[in-house]
């Protein structure tokens, strides 16, 4: 037990840094000013997590303490082992540990504010004050720059915009084709989601994959719709094979993301 108490502080610092990197890999990868301000939140946790770990390890009187300490370190392990090492999977790796970390940090606040040293209580107050300040900067970024910055990797083809156009302008299409070389299962599920949200499962029932070779073949019924990436190199040549570009869909950043073609 004494060894555990001794290790609580360095383990807490390591845990806070790892959680910081897992949840905020873009800070390391991009380092823009609006993202770097989130460091303030994690500076708070670098103080509060070790204090909370020390408090729980020192007490160690109840099942609650066991659950918090073991859960914080063990819960993310299955996801860490199962998912690739990529920033795309950083949030799933860390999200399960976050509630445990918050509860442990809360225990850290409790132990610091009860400390007799004025400096320690001042540090606890500073950590508490920094948290809402960080949240304000996060919220400002989330509702302004973040949608444009994240549009390309959240939904590279803006299927919400694609679904809106097809429902409004081509809902009677005999078939809706997804270009097989652009749209795989991870993207088609977004198309299905927006159709279900719009209560148009009939369009999903008419959705099929179409290989590049079949897109230029005769026999496709007039009025059918083909959805493909706006950057697809075959987009120009298909206009000579009986297709016409109905519209180009743009993402939140204004970048052309998807092309919707109609069969003439």
Domain co-membership, 14 together with 139: yes
Domain co-membership, 181 together with 64: no
Strand order across the 225-229 sheet: 207-210, 176-179, 225-229, 256-263, 243-250
Domain co-membership, 124 together with 15: yes
Residues linked to residue 243 through DSSP beta bridges, in sequence order: 263
Domain co-membership, 73 together with 162: no
d(CA 67, CA 63): 6
d(CA 188, CA 57): 48
Query: Helix 39-59 vs helix 2-23: angle between axes, to the nearest 10 degrees?
Result: 160
Domain co-membership, 127 together with 158: no
Number of domains in the chain: 2
What's the Rg (C-alpha) of the chain?
26
What pLDDT does 92 receive? 57
- Domain stops at, among 143, 169, 190: 143
Domain co-membership, 19 together with 114: yes
Closest CA to 260 of 205, 240, 250, 252: 250
d(CA 23, CA 16): 11
Residues 6+ apart with CB under 8 A from 249: 157, 158, 161, 162, 165, 230, 256, 257, 258, 259, 260
Closest CA to 42 of 111, 135, 119: 135
Predicted confidence (pLDDT) per residue in 5-23, tens digit: 444 444 455 555 545 444 4
Which 8-state DSSP code applies to residue 225? E
- Domain stops at, among 119, 143, 167: 143
pLDDT higher than threshold 90 for residue 164: yes
Domain co-membership, 138 together with 10: yes
Domain co-membership, 33 together with 121: yes
| Domain enclosing residue 252, as ranges | 152-263
Higher pLDDT, 83 or 3: 83
- Domain stops at, among 110, 126, 143: 143
d(CA 99, CA 51): 16
Confidence of residue 143 (pLDDT cuts 50, 70, 90): confident
Domain co-membership, 129 together with 192: no
142-150 average pLDDT score: 79
10 phi, psi to nearest 5 deg? -65, -35
Predicted confidence (pLDDT) per residue in 168-207, tens digit: 998 889 999 988 888 776 678 888 889 999 999 999 999 9
Predicted structure pTM score:
0.58
Predicted confidence (pLDDT) per residue in 226-253, tens digit: 998 888 888 888 877 788 899 999 987 7
Buried-state track 192-229, b at ≥16 Cβ within 10 A, e below 16? bebbeeeebeebeebbeebeeeebeeeebeeebbbbbb
Domain co-membership, 95 together with 178: no
d(CA 204, CA 166): 11
Mark out the alpha helices in the chain (DSSP H runs): 2-23, 25-29, 33-36, 39-59, 63-74, 77-82, 90-95, 97-113, 118-142, 145-154, 159-169, 185-197, 201-205, 212-215, 235-238
pLDDT higher than threshold 70 for residue 145: yes
Residues 6+ apart with CB under 8 A from 81: none
């Amino acid at each position: 037990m004494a060894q555990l108490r001794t290790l609580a502080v360095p383990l807490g610092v390591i845990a806070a840094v790892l959680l910081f990197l897992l949840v905020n890999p873009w800070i390391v990868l991009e380092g823009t000013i609006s993202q770097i301000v989130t460091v303030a939140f994690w500076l708070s946790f670098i103080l509060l997590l070790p204090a909370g770990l020390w408090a729980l390890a020192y007490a160690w009187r109840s099942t609650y303490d066991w659950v918090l300490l073991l859960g914080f370190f063990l819960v993310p392990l299955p996801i860490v082992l199962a998912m690739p090492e990529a920033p795309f999977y950083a949030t799933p790796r860390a999200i399960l540990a976050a509630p445990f970390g918050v509860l442990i940090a809360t225990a850290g606040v409790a132990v610091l504010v009860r400390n007799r040293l004025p400096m320690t209580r001042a540090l606890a107050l500073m950590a508490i004050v920094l948290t809402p300040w960080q949240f304000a900067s996060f919220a400002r970024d989330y509702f302004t720059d973040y949608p444009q910055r994240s549009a390309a990797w959240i939904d590279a083809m803006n299927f919400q915009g694609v679904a809106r156009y097809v429902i409004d302008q081509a809902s009677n299409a005999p078939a809706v084709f997804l270009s097989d070389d652009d749209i795989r299962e991870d993207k088609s599920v977004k198309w299905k989601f927006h159709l279900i949200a719009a209560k148009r499962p009939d369009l999903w029932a008419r959705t099929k994959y179409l290989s590049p070779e079949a897109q230029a073949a005769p026999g496709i019924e007039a009025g059918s719709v083909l959805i493909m990436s706006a950057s697809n190199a075959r987009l120009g040549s298909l206009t000579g094979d009986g297709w016409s570009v109905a519209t180009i869909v743009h993402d939140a950043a204004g970048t052309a993301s998807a092309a919707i073609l109609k069969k003439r």
